[in-house]
Structure formats: C-alpha cells, structure tokens
Amino acid sequence: MSPAATAQKTISFTDAYRLALDEALGADPTVFLLGEDIGDEEGGGVFKVTKGLSTKYGKHRVRTTPISEEAIVGAAVGAALAGMRPVAEIMLMNFVTVAMDQIVNHAAKLRFMSGGQTGVPITIRTRTGAGAGTAGQHSDMLEAWFAHVAGMKVVVPSTPADAMGLLTSCIFDDDPCLFIEDSLTRALTGPAPPPGHRVPLGRANVSHEGSDVSVIGYGRPIRDALALAERLKGEGISVEVVDLRTVSPLDTETVLKSVAKTRRAVVVHEAPRSFGVGAEVTARIQEHLYDSLAAPVLRVASRDVPVPFAKVLEQEYLYKPAAIEAAIRRTLDSKARR
C-alpha cells in the first residue's frame, strides 16, 4: 500500500527503508548508497527500495555496482575510513557469504586494530527470510554469525516505523551495522513514523507489557508474539513482548528486567534453533536470573535444516506461532521452584 492510499498514516516496510535512505541522503552529503541494480536506470532495485533515489540524488550517490559483493562492502569500508557514511546493499543475505572477509576481518576490526584511529561507519542492508519458496540459498537468517563478531552491530526491525528509525540510526552510527530486512513481510504496513524518526541502537523495546511470561525476539516473530499477547489476554495470561531490535550488542538489561518481573521466558527467532541468537539470550537469562526463574527458558525457532523448497516442508522448517503459544503455556505449567 502506498503512503498516499492511507493519507500518509501508514507505510510499508519498503516505504520505510526508502524513507530512511531518502532522508539520510538529503540530510548528509557523506551518505551514499551502493549495490546491485539500485539505480533508477536499473529499475531502482530488485525490491524497489531505492526507487527514485538515483534520480533525486544522482548516480554518483546511488551507485549501481557489478555483481561483486566483496568489492561492494570493501568500497564501503574504504569510503567510511575516509569520512563517508556508505550504505551498501547485499541483495540477499546468503550472498554475504562472499563478503565475509570485508565484514568480519575488516569492517568490524579496523577500529580496534587501529587503536581507535579509524572507524568504519558503514551500513550493510540485506534481506532474507523463508516463506516465499526461494529455498536453500536465498532464505537464510545468518544474524547469529555477525552477533558473534565483536565490533559489529546487528539490527532487525519488526515494524515499518522501527525500520525507518533503526535504519536511520544505523546510517548515522559510527560503527558497522548490519541491517536485516524481511523478504516476506516487505509489503506489510504499519503506522508511519514522523520525519527524522530515529530509534536508538542497542535498546530493546517492550512492545507489549505483561506480567506472566516474557516473549523475547526480533523481526518477523514479534508480530506473532503481539498477536498472541492480545489473544491470551482473554484467557487471563499476561504476556510481555520484548523486541530486541538490536540483536547485538544485546540489551541484556531490558531482557533481564522483563524476565525478573515475569520469571518466565520464551525466546523466539526465525533462524534455525541450534547455535542461534536464542541460545545466547537463554544463556544470559539463566546465568543472571537462575534463582528467580520459575521455569526453564524455552526457545522457539526454525528447524536445523537447510530451507526446503516444497511449501509443506518450508512451512515445517519455519518456527510456528503455535509453538510460541505452546512454549508460553509450558512455562506457565512449570511449577515455580521457590
């Protein structure tokens, strides 16, 4: 839905990303974009996020690149070292696999390795997610890799307004940020943010208050959690939803505050369960709140398999809202130990 259609009151994720880029390009001459097909001569990007921007700001600031992800990220890194704020697009997250050296060995480390002399204020926008039948090489959620790399910031929005505010914060942040967009929900809409909207990095958002159990996650499953929270209210179950927004550095404080209150936690993400972000959140909660937990911290995530093509398998792969509900009920069934 275009903003006009709803009298500027709601925008889609795609609109939100574009808005953030547009405002940043307009506000700061050091901001520029680079990525495959992003210019208007190339249709404004495969997902139309950058549509109109090269026409508005020039091809020198909205640069279509060859299919060369290592060179794309590297060019962003170098330009950042020289005072620019580049926003690089990696069309889909599985393709970051060809740019890992630049991200991990360079972008994330150059500040530390230079003793603080050179920072790398780049934003890498990428998108991914299962559910659209693009199978094993076009759907992976790999955020856990980058969360494990010191120096990186990893950001995943769950609403269009957050998308706009978080992306803006990434662009103007002085550290390398990986901003992950969800392929499947890109057309979904939500309330439009005010111009200049920023959402601080490194801060989780309690998007629904509750007292019985904390559901902690980020990105797509937050919508499911909010819907559940509404629905379970009817049953007298009070669910608190904590949207991490920034996966790393993790806002442990907000997470612990919530779980200290509810004494029960369910951690949710779309990425496969094992060695995912949920493991870290779980480990931290039980480390800090062992004595006050009333139930084990449960995880809901996708299956530990490559993303399958066949719809029935793809759906089986994906985390399920019903599993979030089941986990909530399980934690409530657990008898408190103290």
Ligand X SMILES: Cc1ncc(C[n+]2csc(CCOP(=O)(O)OP(=O)(O)O)c2C)c(N)n1
| Residues carrying an active site annotation | 138
Pairing, β 85-90 against β 31-35:
parallel
Residues of span 254-293 touching another protein by CB under 8 A: none
Between CA 200 and CA 204 the distance in angstroms is: 9
**Does residue 100 bind a second copy (CB under 8 A)?**
yes
For ligand X, which residue of 24, 57, 62, 69 counts as binding (CB under 6 A)? 69
Q: Does 95 bind ligand X (CB under 6 A)?
A: yes
In contact, 259 and 284? CB cutoff 8 Å: no
Residue closer to ligand X by CB (options 47, 172) is 47
DSSP string, 157-225: -SSHHHHHHHHHHHHHSSS-EEEEEESTTTT-EEEPPPTT----TT--EEEE--SSEEEEE-SHHHHHH
Can residue 110 be called a binding residue for another protein (CB under 8 A)? Answer: yes
Whether 165 contacts 123, CB under 8 Å = no
Pick from a second copy, ligand X, another protein, none: which does 5 bind, CB < 5 to 8 A by kind?
none
- Per CB under 8 A, the list member of 206, 227, 289, 313 interacting with another protein is 313
Site for another protein contains 105 (CB under 8 A): yes
Site for ligand X (CB under 6 A): which residue of 19, 33, 84, 91? Answer: 91
The answer to whether 195 contacts another protein (rule: CB under 8 A) is no
Strands 123-128 and 239-243: what pairing?
unpaired
At a CB cut-off of 8 Å and minimum separation 6, what does 281 contact?
Answer: 216, 244, 250, 255, 265, 267, 297
**Shortest distance, position 235 Cβ to another protein, whole Å:** 29
Closest approach, Cβ 71 to ligand X, in A, equals 12
Taking contact as CB under 8 A, which single stretch among the options 6-14, 53-61, 184-192, 276-284 is the one that binds a second copy? 276-284
